[in-house]
């Protein structure tokens, strides 16, 4: 059985919930207390489609890291980005444009989705769906309103991005046709041992 490694990078301001989304998706865990990521962490998750194993290598970079400038080499290896903001924090939304521009400057071939996290904080939401979808910046980007806390739309965001990447790799010829023949309708299934903790930074 063939295996395909796919690298996904979570980017966004500090405290928007990047680590929480990663932990919810890979371990189905959530912590209320905030411990800022130092540098970056990587967790792998295995998925299966038809007769192919997919290893998602998801890296979560501290929101502080942009100021230390993430290296071109690092960005170049990324297949897909998840740009995360907090729907209760306007600054984190405005900053998405900078995170996106940074990525576009350093990597010309990637897919991405936009995630507005903390949708459970209903009374404090200031960035509405239409603020994102009407924005010129994001064009036709797919947008997910998520809650890492209440497990809303988390799997959907990660797996939609994975499908977008796989479709592109197929178009580019990096995945053979016979590895999955119904790419438009494929479904991803989680394998039994689906989460492997890796040493910091070992994904890149």
Positions that interact with ligand GTP (CB under 6 A): 14-20, 31-34, 36-37, 62-63, 117-118, 120-121, 147-149
Minimum CB separation from ligand GTP for residue 52, in Å?
30
Strands annotated E in the chain: 2-11, 40-49, 52-61, 80-86, 111-117, 142-145, 189-197
Minimum CB separation from ligand GTP for residue 108, in Å?
26
- Give backbone dihedrals phi and psi of 29, rounded to 5 degrees, phi first: -120, 155
Q: If you ran DSSP here, which 8-state letter would residue 152 be given?
A: B
Minimum CB separation from ligand GTP for residue 22, in Å?
8
Crossing angle of helices 154-171 and 18-27, in 10° steps, is: 80
CB-wise, 99 or 138, nearer to ligand GTP? Answer: 99
- Give backbone dihedrals phi and psi of 66, rounded to 5 degrees, phi first: -60, -35
CB-wise, 52 or 132, nearer to ligand GTP? Answer: 132
CB-wise, 84 or 175, nearer to ligand GTP? Answer: 84
CB-wise, 63 or 80, nearer to ligand GTP? Answer: 63
Q: Residue 186 — left, alpha, or beta (φ > 0 → left; ψ -120 to 50 → alpha)?
A: beta
Minimum CB separation from ligand GTP for residue 65, in Å?
8
């Amino acid at each position: 059985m063939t295996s395909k490694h796919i690298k996904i990078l979570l980017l966004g301001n500090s405290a928007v919930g990047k680590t929480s989304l990663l932990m919810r998706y890979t371990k189905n865990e959530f912590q209320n207390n905030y411990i800022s990521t130092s540098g970056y962490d990587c967790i792998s998750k295995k998925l299966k489609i038809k007769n192919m194993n997919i290893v998602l290598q998801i890296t979560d970079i501290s929101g502080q890291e942009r100021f230390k400038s993430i290296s071109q080499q690092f960005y170049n290896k990324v297949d897909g980005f998840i740009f995360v903001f907090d729907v209760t924090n306007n600054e984190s939304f405005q900053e998405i444009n900078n995170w996106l521009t940074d990525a576009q400057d350093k990597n010309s071939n990637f897919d991405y989705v936009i995630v507005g996290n903390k949708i459970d904080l209903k009374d404090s939401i200031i960035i509405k769906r239409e603020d994102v979808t009407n924005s010129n910046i994001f064009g036709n980007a797919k947008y997910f309103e998520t809650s890492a806390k209440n497990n809303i739309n988390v799997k959907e965001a990660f797996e939609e991005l994975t499908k977008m990447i796989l479709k592109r790799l197929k178009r580019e010829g990096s995945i053979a046709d016979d590895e999955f023949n119904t790419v438009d309708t494929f479904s991803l299934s989680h394998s039994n041992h689906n989460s492997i903790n890796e040493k910091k930074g070992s994904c890149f």
